[in-house]
Amino acid sequence: MIRIRIDDVMWNSSGWDRERAIRRYRNRCNWLKKDRDNISHVAAIIVKDIQEYPETIELVKSGLNEGSLSPQLHCWEHVNYDDLTEFTITEHLEQSLDWFSKTLNFQPTIWITPWGSSGTPIMHTIAARFQLEIESTRFCIEPPHAVKLCIEHGNTNILHNQTVMDHWWKRGNHIPRIVEISRHGSYAAALEYDKENRKEKERIFT
């Protein structure tokens, strides 16, 4: 299974208006569920901000219910938790997990910390109280490198049991490429399908 983690769901980005932001993340979801047998979509949720995006909450609910998406905790607010007090960290986790329970009827098991933090000792202690495992960016693969590995090895086997990390607000053109190589079994087959079935301006591989 290839684990593709999409961070910052949903962050109020100055680069994207509301409509485009919702559409951009929806497109990620639609691509990633094309190959549920081989790809696990992990959504790292910013709990405070996603409440301003009811459409995205419904998208997460839908993906969770159909088994195409696993929502996990990113944070309550997108701040560096290394710098916060024990009281504030605890409060943020309590608020976040309460929202997960009431809104998604789901309890996350992973705290995907903002800014790639590996977590301070106190963060790990507090996370354990809530049965959360801290995950940083330490062992993640960036999408462009993931595609390069697929091309070098001819297929996506090299990515299995790995985490490919992206952000919804990035261009994201590498995600469909990973999905297509996985779906068709090899880079060569995905490339051939692309040429034979898509108009030139719609092709995923250029």
pLDDT (tens digit per residue) in 124-178: 999 999 999 999 999 999 999 999 999 999 999 999 999 999 999 988 889 999 9
Residue 120's domain is classified under what CATH number?
3.20.20.370
Closest Cα partner for 119 from 100, 91, 138? 138
Domain tally, the chain? 1
The per-residue pLDDT for 14 is 75
pLDDT beyond 90 at 13? no
Q: Is residue 188 part of a domain?
A: no
Decide: residue 17, CB within 10 A, 0-12 exposed, 13-18 middle, 19+ buried.
exposed
pLDDT band with cut points at 50, 70 and 90 for residue 15: confident
Query: Average pLDDT over the chain, rounded to whole?
Result: 95
pLDDT beyond 90 at 204? yes
Q: Is residue 195 part of a domain?
A: no
Distant-in-sequence, close-in-space partners of 106: CB < 8 Å, separation ≥ 6: 64, 71, 100
The per-residue pLDDT for 18 is 87
H or E element at residue 166: strand 163-167
The per-residue pLDDT for 17 is 85
Which pair of tokens denotes residue 55? Answer: 């459409």
DSSP 3: E
pTM for this predicted structure? 0.94
Q: Is residue 206 part of a domain?
A: no
Q: Is residue 90 part of a domain?
A: yes
Q: Is residue 26 part of a domain?
A: yes
Which pair of tokens denotes residue 82? Answer: 């290394």
> 63 is in which domain, residue-wise?
2-140+162-167
Residue that the structure tokens 């995006």 belong to: 53
Q: Is residue 174 part of a domain?
A: no
* CA atoms of 163 and 39, how far apart (whole Å): 10
Q: Is residue 33 part of a domain?
A: yes
The per-residue pLDDT for 12 is 78
Dihedral sign computed on CA atoms, order 34, 141, 159, 149: positive
**Strands 110-112 and 133-135, bridge-based pairing:** parallel
Q: Is residue 87 part of a domain?
A: yes
Per residue in 57-90, pLDDT tens? 999 999 999 999 999 999 999 999 999 999 999 9
